[in-house]
């Protein structure tokens, strides 16, 4: 597993250490982040690895902040280039 990429992608919040690192967070069922829960359930490294990316469930999440929008753009670009 790549610890340098958050489940929602390598967004600026994560790389600038403003994100609490969802991989290291002890989530509870009441506060688990949607992409974290989904990626863990599917056993995938991060959202862009999913055959359903960008699904309706995550689309709203990726509109919540500039960091999330940037993560979505980066993951979309990764998929387009086959990385």
Mean pLDDT within 43-72: 87
pLDDT score for 52: 92
pLDDT tier, 1 (very low <50, low <70, confident <90, very high otherwise): very low
Select from 40, 81, 45, 38 the least CA-distant residue to 62: 38
Which sequence spans correspond to the domains of the chain?
12-81
Mean pLDDT within 32-52: 87
pLDDT at 3 over 70: no
In order, the DSSP letters of 24-55 are: T----TTT--HHHHHHHHHT-SSGGGSTT-S-
pLDDT score for 20: 67
Higher pLDDT, 22 or 46: 46
């Amino acid at each position: 597993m790549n610890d340098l990429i958050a489940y929602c992608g390598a967004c600026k919040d994560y790389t600038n250490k403003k994100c609490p690192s969802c991989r290291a967070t002890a989530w509870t069922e009441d506060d688990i982040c949607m992409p974290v829960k989904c990626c863990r359930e599917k056993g995938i490294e991060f959202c862009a690895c999913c055959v359903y990316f960008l699904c309706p469930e995550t689309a709203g999440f990726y509109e919540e902040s500039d960091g999330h929008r940037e993560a979505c753009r980066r993951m979309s670009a990764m998929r387009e280039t086959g990385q």
